[in-house]
A and B are shown apart, each in its own frame.
Chain A
């Protein structure tokens, strides 16, 4: 089991008012699964992604990731876990400006302490894998949205993470680029990559083999599709 969430609560403090964002979430995800977390805005899916991605800590509950009880680890260990075990893909790509595609992909490798040649070789291989072999030295503002998201995927894969976490990965893309990105996910999934994807779009969620539905901070449905559907459209 890769992800084991037990009775997770996340409560935000807004002045003197406590706002519960996640209420008693218990969820297990196995290695190699492709899970879509679906829900309307305000349902708590982004908060859940933050906790799964070790970007914030639960107020209560236990979170085991790949055998580590991460909610008790110090910040420095969490940084290492994010760097090595998790690859992030965001709706707004979050590429660094004034950096080339290659440099963006090298960043997690740099923080992992890889040598410059290793950084370069891995980044080049990954960018080739996502189809950007002729865009290596383009700056992020010289790339289309779909290309930027491919760079972000290559960056997410840099340290061969156990888990790929995607937050509305197609939200800022036109439908064709969105389809290409989902096809890339499908391909990664077939090679055994665990993927957790957040979306509000049920059509996109159909790509996954398992669908977890959140509403008002609770899991209201957890369904397995027997077979993922072909890319819609």
Chain B
């Protein structure tokens, strides 16, 4: 009997192919929307984690706070700068941390008849290690370079191409300002991360930069790697205290935990997820209401059929089952097509985002089986749920009334 009722339902659906198709469309769009949106947000998450890993992990960023005019007057004469000495002192005081001081200068590079104007970064060997950014050929700045104020320069991938084209730059001379430097290494291509193009970096030993260009020991910032992730907050506080003490009690230091940064981005992603998820759920609900609408029309249209079926012996549950099977079939088939469309759309949109977003080259949608399962299950629940009301309505009709319904 179940088989007959099921075949009956299929016949009714195919007899009204256009209507069934349009109803299904609602479910298809709903399911596809859920899958696509989850895949894109998930893709964003993966991309974010990857790019953070490319930037290095467990990092603390130390900056000098900008002081107000009053504060500057108040603290006049006190030691309120972030200095190279601070970095060395931290390294001595906290030997298990890895400290990379950073100096930034604007300058002009010349090699033969080619030149390049831009930012020059002075740092120490630790930078390469904790930023997970290594030379493709030659070597990075070494501790000997630091000690001996060597005029060696390591070029970003793009800069090397700008200045030397395809020929090898290692050992070649470059003029920075009026100082002669030797190219010591070329960095691996890394691309852009959060608006910073690593391929356009020009790196020199920090000591050389301080001595020949800066004329003082003020540095711009420090990046500090903490080996134990659990101790990030604790170390951040200890460093803050240590630096304030060194700055004669002036709190002019900002320390940003990479984790905080990550959680800020996470928060943004969560918001995205909620908004997009909400839209997707609404799409699915609208699809469900479409099912209910059509089933109500079907029930009304077929009131006399229901009356006849009851007259010749259909029980309430037989009628209920018949209409439930119809709505469930719509949502199951619609859900299956929706999965297919959703996966296609996710990869399509992922591709567009990867092209459109700066540094999004490795961006891609991540279609998760759980997302598929959730979307499909939800579609079926919506189908059954919204099919139930019209089915109940149909099954409760008094046969005499239903038979003579006009």
Contact = CB atoms under 8 A, between A and B. Distances in A.
Given A55-B398, A98-B12, A111 B311 contact: no
Contacts, number: 59
A159 B305 CA distance: 20
B315 A55 contact: no
Contact of B308 (A53, A83, A94, A110): A94
B311 A53 contact: yes
A113 B15 contact: no
A98 B400 CA distance: 23
B4 A110 contact: yes
Nearest to B310: A79
Q: Could you say which interface size class chain A belongs to?
A: 20 to 34
Give the most central of B311, B312, B316, B404: most A CB within 10 Å: B312
Nearest to A55: B400
Contacts of A94: 304, 308, 311, 403
18 contacts: A50-B400, A55-B400, A56-B398, A56-B400, A75-B316, A79-B313, A79-B316, A82-B310, A82-B313, A84-B313, A96-B308, A98-B11, A98-B15, A110-B1, A111-B313, A111-B318, A112-B313, A116-B4
A107 interface: yes
Interface of A: 46, 50, 53, 55-56, 75-76, 79-80, 82-84, 88, 90, 94, 96, 98, 107-108, 110-113, 116, 155, 159
B401 interface: yes
B342 interface: no
A107 B309 contact: yes
Closest 7 CB pairs of A and B: A83-B313, A111-B313, A55-B400, A56-B400, A50-B400, A108-B312, A55-B399
A82 B311 CA distance: 6
B1 A113 contact: yes
A142 B95 CA distance: 95
Contact of B314 (A50, A56, A111): A111
A80 B313 contact: yes
Interface string B298-334: 0000001100111111111010000000000000000
A82 B308 CA distance: 11
Contacts of B311: 53, 55, 82, 88, 94
